[in-house]
Amino acid sequence: MKTLRTSLLAITLTLVAGGVQAFTAVDREDGFLGLVTGKELTRLGITLIVTPDGAITGRAFGRDVTGRWDWSDDGFFCREMRFGQRPIPRNCQQVLVNGATLRFIADRGTGDTADLRLK
């Protein structure tokens, strides 16, 4: 039993010391732009470009995506888009970053989560 506890402790310390990183909040527009400017946001079947002038363009599952975005005064990424001809209503999202992964959490951080890679 002591050997098992020692092994579990060693694994835990290795994971913590080995750089298992947590997501951190992106709560300022300039920080967000520093991450996305000149990059594509990708996920299986999805490639998006978010530009400093408030545009969103790209493709998702063979259809065009267009939209607009802005940064709310209370620190959220707010966007509305069209997926093909289908409108996607405005939603303000919490943004988190971990390395090259951006996590968007809908409904001001209380809804569904989407992870996209920066390329």
Mean pLDDT of the 89-106 span: 98
What percent of the chain has pLDDT above 90? Answer: 82
> For residue 10, what pLDDT is reported?
45
- Tell me the Ramachandran region of residue 107: left when phi exceeds 0, alpha when psi lies from -120 to 50, beta otherwise: left
Domain boundary assignment for the chain: 21-118
Is a pLDDT exceeding 50 seen at residue 13?
Answer: no
Mean pLDDT of the 55-68 span: 98
Q: What is the CATH number of domain 21-118?
A: 2.40.128
Model confidence, pTM: 0.82
